[in-house]
Amino acid sequence: MPSEKSYLSVSNLKISSDLFDFVNSEVIPGTFVDRENFWEGFSKLIHELSPENKSLLKKRVDLQKKIDSWHINTKYKPYNQSDYIKFLRDIGYLVTEGPNFNIQTENVDEELSKISGPQLVVPLINARYSINAANARWGSLYDALYGTDSIPRDSKSDKKEYDPERGKKVIKWSKEFLDESIPLIDGSHQDATSYKINDQRVYITLSNGKKVALKNEQKLIGYTGSASFPESILFRNNGLHIQITFNKDHSVGKDDKANISDIILESAISTIMDCEDSIAAVDSEDKITVYRNWLGLMKGDLKTSFQKNGRNIQRCLNKDLIFQGTCGSEITIPGRSTLLIRNVGHLMTTNTILQDDGSESPEGIVDAVITSLIAKHDLLQNSLVKNSKTGSIYIVKPKMHGPDEVRFTDKIFQYVEKLISLPRNTLKMGIMDEERRTSINLKECIRAAKNRVVFINTGFLDRTGDEIHTSMEAGPIIKKGNIKKCVWIKAYEDRNVDIGLSCGLKGKAQIGKGMWAMPDMMAEMLKSKIEHPKSGATTAWVPSPTAATLHATHYHRVNVEEYQDVISSRKHAKIEDLLTIPLAEGTNWSSDEVQRELENNIQGILGYVVRWIDQGVGCSKVLDINNLGLMEDRATLRISSQHIANWLRHEVCSENQVIETLERMAKVVDNQNSNDPEYQLMSRDLKNNIAFNAASDLIFEGAKQTNGYTEPILHKYRRYKKNNDSIN
């Protein structure tokens, strides 16, 4: 924690001096916000809203105590779901749904309202990743296919050398994709020898000499270069752009009959810049890094450099793309993803700003104020590039529990708009449907933000963590790998879309689905993730720009609007199914089954936590027990720690068994990270290792943690690590 000398007393607040200087010298200039009035208003906002924030958190705890007591008191009675649902209504956990309505959100960019496509989520604390994600609006289909397992690799080929046979397979796959997305009247793109623009049409000459046009001429948008010898041609299908580039001198283009050098897909239509689950930000130093990167994105001047293969590489934000329209006028196409920012939820507090009584301020409120003030630069056009063309700021708010907490977020946003002189409802809200009390009350949650909601999504991982914690006393939960097959999961995924459509989100806001967590398994993603647009979701999360390009092909194959029209007429998923607890019918697992489950969970916990605590990495590819790289963040950690806590609570496993497994898996994780020069061994001194003790607390203190969240423990131990403090 910062020392007393590092704080400044300002308007009944004690503000970390580095944060105060950053806001005054870097953020406020150019916003037409008066410094003195800003800090005075900020202080008033914090002191007025903090008690309500605290009250809402107390309500979470009180509800959980009542649910725990109900399960304990009915433990030896036959389970009756009708009684359970009545009980949830009686205590106000499940609220009464009001009449039908449509959201009234206005001034939403088409990337969030009209266009269906992939969405990236990236840790904002990392400038390089943030720039790459913002630039992931466009991606090479050739590179995405060639560089992943999307097309099986010949085991004999050398990955370092170009494989011509593999290249042919990539080109064949890509041109078959063109045949499907922008088909010709006759023939195939594979037989094309030239593309020319004439009289607002594109004419393709085939290898047999025949000239053909597109089946749908409206898919042609524009071109660069000359009409007779275009350098690129731009098409649009299902709202997404496809760019074919031509270069006879290119290593690929010179061997192509039509000199096609690449096929570029519009990929990550939107990106969530994350201040929450995927980062480790525990003090003012970390928070300023996050805020400064956001400022660079909003002002368009964020840059970074790094070494690669002995060369210094510099990255900055892409400019917009300019094409010659078929009608003769120039058209501009966005060169970057439309950015949202995910603030911290209501739970955590921050020592960057202390109130007059010395207590820490709610971090979510601090995030809302500072990230909105930063985004005002985009609205005032103080930027080299443009994010929102409609004058909106998009804030995703995670981990809200029910309508009251959504209303509170709306209140925060109103206060912020007044504080920094923005029109009402400039701040748009993304509602993460990832907590049980939100998913069962989703309609009323949307109603509470009906004038600013711009996004809802499902987050299976956090939702599962909350499911386990909420039902901690109900009994032992089934094995973690089987939870995805439960009836409540399908009801949860379907109901999210059902309610989103019934509340008028179609054409006005995003309906999203969760992350593909296996970045090395793109072939499987291509097979599986097409179900997300088929589900009626307009977007779904991907872990990398490459994955965004591959997932974009699904939105060319699936017209989401047409699927939504069909889905709108189906019956909503039942609340009874949504409230079916994933309890094991018995605990007659063999000792080997229990041990394997523990090893799988504990290895994942240690592999993630050791990077979080020791290196400050909040999201990374972590090897699982089978050495498969999985994208891990706090949501996956929440599931694993809560699952073991549940099994301990119901004596499926013993404390000694968990301790022994922790000690043994620490050595496994150490071995898996042996090639990382920054890695610090846990097994050398387990008793005093900060990361190991953090992992242990997540398990043994898991049942006591508010809603099963991992942040309080992680933050405590990360601060120990950063300050070189002893854990004793």
pLDDT per residue over 506-541, tens digit each?
999 999 999 999 999 999 999 999 999 999 999 999
Give the pLDDT confidence score for residue 55 in this predicted structure: 98
Show Cβ contacts of residue 207 under 8 Å, excluding neighbours closer than 6 positions: 191, 192, 193, 257
Give the pLDDT confidence score for residue 1 in this predicted structure: 44
* Residue boundaries of the structural domains of the chain: 105-136+269-324+331-578, 140-266, 591-722
Average pLDDT over residues 551-570: 97
Give the pLDDT confidence score for residue 82 in this predicted structure: 95
The Cα angle at residue 483 between residues 481 and 489, in degrees rounded to 5: 140
The 10s digit of each residue's pLDDT in 144-186 is 999 999 999 876 666 678 899 999 999 999 999 999 999 999 9
Six token digits for residue 632: 């891990």
Give the pLDDT confidence score for residue 2 in this predicted structure: 46
Alpha-carbon distance 150 to 521, whole Å? 8
3-class SS shares of the chain: helix, strand, coil, % to 5: 45, 20, 35
DSSP 23: I
Average pLDDT over residues 596-617: 97
301 is catalytic: no
Residue reference for tokens 């928070």: 287
Catalytic residue among 60, 137, 342, 437: 342
Average pLDDT over residues 50-74: 98
The 10s digit of each residue's pLDDT in 201-212 is 999 999 999 999
Show Cβ contacts of residue 620 under 8 Å, excluding neighbours closer than 6 positions: 608, 611, 631, 632
pLDDT at 285 over 90: yes
Show Cβ contacts of residue 629 under 8 Å, excluding neighbours closer than 6 positions: 518, 519, 520, 621, 622, 623
Catalytic residue among 191, 404, 462, 633: 633
User: What's the fold here for domain 105-136+269-324+331-578?
Assistant: TIM Barrel (3.20.20)
User: What's domain 140-266's architecture?
Assistant: Beta Complex (2.170)
90 is catalytic: no
Give the pLDDT confidence score for residue 593 in this predicted structure: 97
Q: Give the number of other CB atoms < 10 A from CB of residue 81.
A: 11
> pLDDT band for position 5 (50/70/90)?
low
Alpha-carbon distance 700 to 670, whole Å? 22
Among 425, 577, 427, 442, residue whose Cα is nearest residue 502: 442
User: Which residues, in sequence order, are bridge partners of residue 241?
Assistant: 236
Mean pLDDT (the chain) is 96
User: What's the fold here for domain 591-722?
Assistant: Malate Synthase G; Chain: A; Domain 4 (1.20.1220)
Average pLDDT over residues 292-319: 93
Instruction: Calculate what percentage of the chain has a pLDDT beyond 70.
Output: 98
How many angstroms separate the Cα of 267 from the Cα of each of 112, 134, 138, 413, 647?
14, 11, 5, 30, 42
Alpha-carbon distance 246 to 235, whole Å? 14
Give the pLDDT confidence score for residue 159 in this predicted structure: 65
